[in-house]
Amino acid sequence: MNIVITGASSGVGYEAALQLIENSGNKVVALARSGEKLQELSQAALIRNPDGVLFPIEFDIIHGEYDDKLIPFVKKNIGRIDVLINNAGALINKPFFELDQLDFVSMLQSNFLGHIKVIQNLLPLMLAKGGHIVNIGSMGGFPGSIKFPGLAAYSTSKAALHSLTECLALELEKSNIKVNCLALGSAQTEMLEKAFPGYVSPIKASEMGKLIADFAVTGHQFFNGKILPVSVTTP
């Protein structure tokens, strides 16, 4: 499969990318803002599978040049796209009354608007044969889940991504493109430490990364337009 994954330089995105290149039949374009961390990913991928096919690209999904940089890169290295994993994101942990509008703008850009830009720009490379778009959401934005102080801006931005998933699944149905969202609970990552300092998750980042990778390549056979909670603990 030809796969594009954003936010591939750390956390569950990093682990998902490594899991995906274990299959030598996959070609993976890995996006991240940090070129240094992408080099680390490339080295780890080479150790994991010397025959794996990974194309790292330093790219900012919010401010990057799609027409001049990302789209030509994807076309040159993998051509069409079978799977798009929108994993890039950020988190602000701050009490509600200390948040300003720029905090909410920042969260919406990182966790929602950036993904819209990725989808709109890369969708033409999926239309010919269909595919699977996987948005990485959060239990913080899942309706009815327990919410936590300090995460209002983050959680509401993820809720917007969840809603977008349902809208796109309907709109793209005739194009044979399935759209789903994994609302992740805790996994042991830097972002978790920022959200819940001192908390230790029973789920390793590598375990969550494997779940994301497996779902990305098979989940479209069983789901469309679904926001699926992935959580065994609170948080």
Q: Are 5 and 19 in contact (CB under 8 A)?
A: no
* CA distances for 79 relative to 1, 116, 183, 216, 225, angstroms: 11, 21, 29, 18, 26
Tens of pLDDT, residue by residue over 105-163, are: 999 999 999 999 999 999 999 999 999 999 999 999 999 999 999 999 999 999 999 99
Structure confidence at residue 101 (pLDDT) = 97
pLDDT tens string 85-95: 999 999 999 99
pLDDT of residue 203: 97
d(CA 185, CA 141): 10
Domain count, the chain: 1
Is 168 part of any domain?
A: yes
Cα(111)–Cα(5) distance, integer angstroms? 14
Render pLDDT for 205-220 as a digit per residue (tens, 0 to 9).
Answer: 999 999 999 999 999 9
For residue 228, what pLDDT band results from cuts at 50, 70 and 90? very high
- Tell me which DSSP letter residue 188 carries: B
| Predicted local confidence at residue 55, as pLDDT | 98
Is 199 marked active-site? Answer: no
Domain assignment present for residue 91? The answer is yes
What torsion do the CA atoms of 82, 231, 91, 132 make, to the nearest 10 degrees? 10
Residue-level pLDDT at 72: 98
What backbone torsions phi and psi does residue 144 show, to the nearest 5 degrees?
Answer: 85, -10
Residue 235: inside a domain: no
- Show the domain range for 102: 2-230
Residue from 14, 66, 154, 199 carrying the catalytic annotation = 154
In a domain, 185, yes or no: yes
pLDDT band at 188 (very low <50, low <70, confident <90, very high): very high
Nearest partner of 138 among 149, 151, 122, 150, judged by Cα: 151
Looking at every residue in the chain, the average pLDDT score rounds to 97
In this prediction, what percent of the chain has a pLDDT beyond 90? Answer: 100
Tokens of 170: 């309907």
Instruction: Report if residue 172 sits inside a domain.
Output: yes
Tokens representing residue 175 in the block: 């194009």
Q: In whole angstroms, what is the distance from residue 27 CA to residue 16 CA? A: 13
Rounded Cα–Cα distance for residues 95 and 151 (Å): 8
**pLDDT tier at 221, thresholds 50, 70, 90:** very high
The residue written with tokens 């680390």 in the block is 40
Can you read off the two tokens belonging to residue 209?
């990364």
- CB-CB contact of 170 with 178 (8 Å): no
For the chain, the straight-line distance linking the first and the last C-alpha, in angstroms and rounded, comes to: 34
What CATH number is attached to the domain comprising 209? Answer: 3.40.50.720
pLDDT in tens, 24-56: 999 999 999 999 999 999 999 999 999 999 999
Reference 106, options 63, 171, 143, 153; nearest CA is: 153
Q: Residue 194's pLDDT is what?
A: 95
Distance between CA atoms of residues 62 and 116, nearest Å: 9
